[in-house]
Structure 1
Amino acid sequence: MKVNKRIDELIKETTQVIDPHRQFYKIRFEDNSMDFAFQWALGCIRNGGGEIGEMFCTAAQIEDYNPDSWAEEWPKIAHRVEKRAQTAEAEGHKISAREFYMRAAGYYRAALTSLLPRNEKYMEWYEKSMECFSKAGALSDPEIELIRVPFEDTYLPGCFIKAATSEQKSKTIIAIGGAETFFMDLYFQIGPSAIKRGYNFITVDIPGQGILPAEAQFFRPDTEKPIGAILDYAYSRPEVDTNLIAAYGISGGGYYVPRASAYDKRIKACISNCAVTNIGKIMGEMAIQNQKAANGIKMSAFNVRMFQIMAWRHGIATDDIPGLLNKTSAFAFNPSLITCPVLNICSNGEYLNPAIKAMEDDFMQSLPNLNKKMIVALFEDGGGTHCLGENTGLLSALVFDWLDEVLKSEGINI
């Protein structure tokens, strides 16, 4: 692909320094991390998580590089859209109400991207996002059912959408997010695409995700345990064909899901976007390469805020970003233990980095099942950025077309 000077510099930079959120084309903000977050939000439009006019109007009010400005502006549009939802619902316009509630949920959630959890508004905006999502779900067809999955001495929040209106058993995909996500994000990324293709859709926050750190549920290396609890829940649903359960993980979920697949054979197909076999190693490489890089990548206040939130999610002080190196040192697994078919998707931008490329290549080579596939999503296809968040249509096609084919190849009638 012919690139301009700015893109060429960013591509060169990403070969030197690991930054999964590296943006390769400017949409609105000079702050690369802020522009990435905006690009990710725009990717939710396809599945009802936003409207381009509302989002660009909001972005125009946000001060570049200022994480507080970001957190202040999104609730404003969320409130306006929520009011429209309430009016539409009161007047009996259920479809309009559903769409307004869904967008309001996405906007309230967007505010949390750069808001420290100790901020008094954090819980307020979280609860508003869930309230709007719940109302949208109740007005949806099929209904988006909010669920609580029993786990140890507590519950994990999520949602379940059944594929068929009848009571027939259907194939199912479990979607797990990354180090900064809420289960709602997975709905906006691929949920409706799953339903269109006849899959039940389940997405649940595991410890460390969503609001769970506020309940002292932090990220832990043994992700097969919380994901095992989600599988237990899936087995309890009469709509789920237990021979047709796939698991999909994005970003940090590229560790959480493959790790679970290595230990829990109820997962019949594993999709990573993209694979992370050793989170501590990647964290270490990020630190080392940042120090070695000729110019380095200076972290903006917005980027620092995101790392502070990640520290909170791992159970360490928000000002102890270096502590993430030690905290994630045990997050590793052996991919040769994964015996089910595997699809691994990696964005072009990430695959350019030698350390990430080496991890992806080693992951694929270590998988024992010959029914495995690696896809590098290209810049020219509009899918070159982290987890293809900017092109959920392409992502859905890659995931579900492969999944349909692999289930057939395994002799399963779908």
Structure 2
Amino acid sequence: MARSHEFRFSGDPDFDFEIRTTIGQAFSGAADIGEVLAAVHGIGEKDHDGWFRAWLSLGDRILAQADASAEARHRVSAASAYLRAASYYATAVNAVASLASEDELLPTFRKHRAAWDRWVDLVDLEIARVDIPYEDTTLPGYLFRAPGDSVGSRPLLIVANGSDGALTGLWSSAVSGALRRGYDALVFDGPGQQSMLFERNVPFRPDWEAVLTPVLDFALAQPDVDEERVALYGISQAGYWVPRALAFEHRFAAAIADPGVVDVSTSWTEHLPANMRKLLDEGQDEKFDRDMQLGMKFSHDLANTWRFRARPYGTTGYADTMRAVLQYTVKDVAGQITTPLLITDPEHEQFWPGQSEQLAALTPSASTLVHFTEAEGADFHVQPLARALTEQRMFDWLDERLSR
């Protein structure tokens, strides 16, 4: 039997990881494994247009099923299909990263969000659309209330996204599990994320406490929220957002980084040749930009991916982008964290290898490191095929810290 890090759904590592991530959402109803595998079957490793079209077409097909069920007043079936369609459109949005043009980005994102909103309207849950005050604008969000009658205040889990995740991913990674355990949950688009980036052109910022503090203020002002039992969860690059905020915002009762990220920039700098890093370190930005531009001419795929990944940082030029990304580190502030912090640590982490352990070493009195292994089927970034196991471990830990 092939080991999980040897078995591939696709010979392209990016395609393979997206397939793993999407079918892992079947656990929460946001995917159906068979329709996913059928949709991507036979797509070549470099067929980026075919890859995008497969996910877009799958989303369109499942959306049509959802519309038909809704028209026939089959509410449960319609809600299920709208959620799956939203998930497939979200994968299509990420697939735009490798296309020569971003013309498909905004229309596809809007299909994703429209399907999500149809699910919100139809699913048998109490969900409120909210606008969270943030500087001179608001952050769009959704407040989920745990089902069933409840006497008194409830714990709340604030769920933070990563660099390019969608709301469907947050539903699968944390919200559905929180609701089943009696937690309310709050999700939102922060600066540089989803609607804030695609529709408002608001970029990332490294000082994420400036985002999570107003989100927490909003949450604490909601009725029936137990102010002593508000927790925080962050997935993927939010493994940086969460500890960065915790270094300055100490009102959370507990937090989870899935996984831990100490220095975001390593996923960028590790691909730079030594001579290019030397130019950057010496401040020779013009030479750096010239050499990067020359290199991009020989790899259209790399140029497309760079454009997509650099966009959330709101920068112009290659050196400018790298200098922005280098600010995203918690090395100098992690020692200020006092909030109990669970850090997931998957074997074969491919984006920030070793950084969960580094974050734990920087926060010895506050953190708990939890390993996930290939033998459990729980390897790779954010354990895509082991979300049930991840949910069990993180909520068991959270329950023990938030229990009255």
TM (norm. structure 1) is 0.84
Give distance in 1, aligned partners of 2:274 and 2:26.
35
Pairs within 5 Å for 1:191-206: 191-206=175-190
Alignment-derived partner of residue 58 in structure 1: 39
1:309 aligns with 2:308: yes
38-47 or 304-313, larger mean C-alpha shift: 304-313
Deviations 1:24-70, CA, capped at 9 Å, x for gaps? 23332111111111111111111121111211111015332222222
- Partners of 1:164 and 1:170 within 8 A in 2: no
Give distance in 1, aligned partners of 2:300 and 2:379.
25
216-225 or 111-120, larger mean C-alpha shift: 111-120
Deviation at 1:218, TM superposition (A): 0.8
Alignment-derived partner of residue 402 in structure 1: 397
Alignment-derived partner of residue 75 in structure 1: 56
Alignment-derived partner of residue 365 in structure 1: 361
Deviation at 1:397, TM superposition (A): 0.7
* Unmatched tracts of structure 1, length 5 or more: 8-23, 293-298
Q: In structure 1, which of residues 103, 107, 120 is the aligned counterpart of residue 88 of structure 2?
A: 107
Give distance in 1, aligned partners of 2:81 and 2:365.
45
1:186 aligns with 2:167: no
Amino acid at match of 2:372: A
Give distance in 1, aligned partners of 2:266 and 2:9.
32
121-130 or 272-281, larger mean C-alpha shift: 272-281
Deviations 1:60-92, CA, capped at 9 Å, x for gaps? 153322222221121212111111111111212
Give distance in 1, aligned partners of 2:43 and 2:205.
35
- Partners of 1:158 and 1:183 within 8 A in 2: no
Alignment-derived partner of residue 223 in structure 1: 208
Total equivalences in the alignment: 379
Give distance in 1, aligned partners of 2:365 and 2:38.
49
Give distance in 2, aligned partners of 1:302 and 1:62.
16
Pairs within 5 Å for 1:226-375: 226-281=211-266, 283-287=268-272, 305-316=304-315, 323-333=320-330, 334-350=333-349, 356-357=353-354, 359-367=355-363, 369=365, 372-375=367-370
Alignment-derived partner of residue 127 in structure 1: 110
Deviation at 1:307, TM superposition (A): 3.9
- Partners of 2:142 and 2:187 within 8 A in 1: yes
Give distance in 1, aligned partners of 2:402 and 2:55.
41
- Partners of 1:102 and 1:133 within 8 A in 2: yes
Alignment-derived partner of residue 11 in structure 1: none
Change in 2 beyond 3 A, CA 1:360/1:54: closer
Give distance in 1, aligned partners of 2:147 and 2:371.
33
Give distance in 1, aligned partners of 2:170 and 2:318.
26
Structure 2 residue matching 1:349: 3-state secondary structure: coil
Change in 2 beyond 3 A, CA 1:109/1:262: same
TM (norm. structure 2) is 0.86
73-82 or 95-104, larger mean C-alpha shift: 73-82
Give distance in 2, aligned partners of 1:239 and 1:65.
51
- Partners of 2:30 and 2:168 within 8 A in 1: no
Deviation at 1:393, TM superposition (A): 0.5
Deviation at 1:290, TM superposition (A): 12
Deviation at 1:300, TM superposition (A): 8.7
Amino acid at match of 1:315: G
Structure 1 residue matching 2:155: 3-state secondary structure: strand
Deviation at 1:401, TM superposition (A): 0.6
Deviation at 1:121, TM superposition (A): 2.3
- Partners of 1:146 and 1:160 within 8 A in 2: yes
* Unmatched tracts of structure 2, length 5 or more: 278-297
Deviation at 1:103, TM superposition (A): 0.7
Q: What is the aligned-residue identity percentage?
A: 25
Change in 2 beyond 3 A, CA 1:403/1:45: same
Give distance in 2, aligned partners of 1:244 and 1:28.
41
Deviation at 1:303, TM superposition (A): 6.7
Deviations 1:171-197, CA, capped at 9 Å, x for gaps? 111111211212332112222111111
Structure 1 residue matching 2:10: 3-state secondary structure: coil
- Partners of 2:155 and 2:402 within 8 A in 1: no
- Partners of 1:34 and 1:65 within 8 A in 2: no
1:98 aligns with 2:79: yes
Structure 1 residue matching 2:348: 3-state secondary structure: helix
Amino acid at match of 2:43: I
Give distance in 1, aligned partners of 2:49 and 2:73.
37
Change in 2 beyond 3 A, CA 1:185/1:80: same
Amino acid at match of 1:193: G
Give distance in 2, aligned partners of 1:223 and 1:258.
9
Deviation at 1:323, TM superposition (A): 4.9
Deviation at 1:225, TM superposition (A): 0.9
Deviation at 1:100, TM superposition (A): 0.8
Structure 2 residue matching 1:43: 3-state secondary structure: helix
Give distance in 1, aligned partners of 2:193 and 2:66.
28
Structure 2 residue matching 1:34: 3-state secondary structure: helix
Give distance in 2, aligned partners of 1:323 and 1:68.
29
Deviation at 1:154, TM superposition (A): 1.8
- Partners of 2:345 and 2:357 within 8 A in 1: no
Alignment-derived partner of residue 47 in structure 1: 28
Q: CA RMSD in A?
A: 2.7
Give distance in 2, aligned partners of 1:212 and 1:321.
23
Give distance in 2, aligned partners of 1:341 and 1:222.
20
